[in-house]
Copies of this chain bind each other. A is one copy, B any other.
Amino acid sequence: MSTTLDEMTVRTRATTSAELASGRESRETVGDVTSANPRMVCRHVDVFYGSTQAIKDVSLDIGKNEVVSMIGPSGCGKSTFLRCLNRMNDTIDGCRVTGSITLDGLDIYDKGLDPVPLRAQVGMVFQKPNPFPKSIYENVAYGPRILGLTNSKAELDDIIEGSLRKAGLWNEVKDRLDKPGTGLSGGQQQRLCIARTIAVSPEVILMDEPCSALDPIATAIIEELIDELRSNYSIAIVTHSMQQAARVSQRTAYFHLGDLIEVGETNQIFTNPKHKLTEDYITGRFG
């Protein structure tokens, strides 16, 4: 498993029957999918739910110290793609991924590769907040505990406070750390899940609409956090807010019905989209 990017041969895509059934070939992606300094490299990724294809031949890099935002209409496959990046799709029955995805040159779908440390390294915030049925403290402490990141209670307390602070939740929950995380409001749960993810310091962070339930102020805090995290890590974020994409990301990818239509510098995408579909979407003329 010492496959590096160079050695890696992009697997040839076989045209599947599902694709034929869907009656249409996938579209070519406009723009440069590569990154100068890539951490994750995806090539020709197809994802199927049973026989329907949710992601069609998507290739995309996620670079070091970069935030890539993914935008596109609801149901276009953003979450699906994101879940491929740390193999969360494994848990869905009937979900099948082909193509190649590498992290630092290692094929993450390699048979011998173990998804457990991968997921510690590639953290994820889910679209629907899913706090554990435990106390707020235990929710955040869970990751560091199982990964053995701390040696003492004090250290753990620090991590927890730090994470909650970064997620902008500390002030609201500091008096009720022992109350169940499920008794929080929607936006609080979302921030709790963010805190839980950053508590294990993953190197790549996948965020699926992390601010959907947040008010502008809380959103600003999270965006700040993203910016801060970027200096060390790589981040892929799904968002429906173009403003947010524009604010936080360096590169933007536009998905449409399972295709990656266009990738480019965020600036360029929002000011000068090349593909008609992108343009329609950005300007709200779509649909």
Contact = CB atoms under 8 A, between A and B. Distances in A.
Interface of A: 49, 71-75, 77, 79-80, 127-129, 168, 172, 183-188, 190-191, 208-209, 212-221, 240, 242, 281, 284, 286-287
A185 B240 contact: no
Given A128-B128, A129-B128, A212-B212, A75 B217 contact: no
B75 A185 contact: yes
A127 B186 contact: yes
Q: Ordered nearest first, which 4 A-B pairs have the shortest CB separation?
A: A74-B187, A212-B212, A127-B186, A217-B287
Contact of A212 (B80, B183, B213, B220): B213
Nearest to A129: B128
Contacts of A191: 74
B186 A213 contact: no
Contact of A215 (B72, B127, B213): B72
A213 to B, nearest CB: 5
Contacts of A49: 183
Contact of A79 (B168, B185, B218): B185
A186 to B, nearest CB: 4
A181 to B, nearest CB: 13
Contact of A74 (B73, B77, B188): B188
Nearest to A171: B287
A228 to B, nearest CB: 17
Nearest to A214: B74
